[in-house]
Amino acid sequence: MGNNGYIIKAEALKKVYHLYAEEIVALKGINAAVKKGEFVSVMGPSGAGKTTFLNLVGCLDKHTEGRLEVLGSDLNSLNENQQRNMRLHHLGFVFQEFFLVKELTALENVQLPIIFADDYKNLGWAKHLLERVGLTKRMNHFPKELSGGEMQRVAVARALANKPDILLADEPTGNLDTKNAQGIYDLFRQLGKEESITIVAATHNVKLGYQADRVIHLREGSIEKDEVIVKF
């Protein structure tokens, strides 16, 4: 599973971007660890490093220094094909933008990751997921026929289509109203527990962020505070 039961473990994790002659340090050697089944919010102002951290964990970018283990693998030691397999079989992604394929129905959008993984025998799982997110009657609708909240629920179902170990969500409620935003976080908590999925979600929304098990506060590329949320 990873180091000492951790499914994600970052040690002195640093990420530097080079923009022409300018050096931008997005993460300044952070240490963080997430256990299997935890729901962790990553909070902080714009430019704090939230998206960078998610991109590194999600094998969408490589870190500059330090070590990052996901599911026991040192990500910088993986080649491109191994990183692709990590994304395809172990990671799910939800973004602020829905990124649905407009020419495909809700059901077909959720089936895409299953098809990419050549796992055709499990195409029925996509239907089950849409039922779980409350879209039983909207499966054959196209994105333009769905509300914002419905489209994001399709995106959540699609992120779960490959039965990931880790769900990464980057400002997943940024384009939603309060009711639909709460609905997405309710889904995260419910599905995370029932499917034993580890969830790491970046958000600006303090109310939603504190509904997780832990909150990691980032500021200017450093961890300002890492707190466990006690629920009564």
Structural domain boundaries of the chain? Answer: 37-62+87-228
Tokens of 180: 């639909």
Question: What confidence score (pLDDT) does residue 100 get?
Answer: 96
3-state class (DSSP) for residue 30: strand
What pLDDT score was predicted for residue 232? 62
Residue written as tokens 């025998």? 121
Q: Pairing between strand 214-219 and 222-228?
A: antiparallel
What's the pLDDT at 32?
97
Range from 17-21, 64-68, 137-141 carrying the lowest mean pLDDT: 17-21
DSSP 129: H
- pTM for the model: 0.93
3-28 burial, b at 16+ Cβ within 10 Å, e below that, comes to eeebbbbbeebbbeeeeeeeeeebbb
Helices 148-159 & 178-195 angle (0-180, nearest 10)? 20
Topology of 37-62+87-228 in CATH? Rossmann fold (3.40.50)
pLDDT at 138: 96
Q: What is the mean pLDDT of the chain?
A: 93
> Contact, 167 vs 198, CB < 8 A?
yes
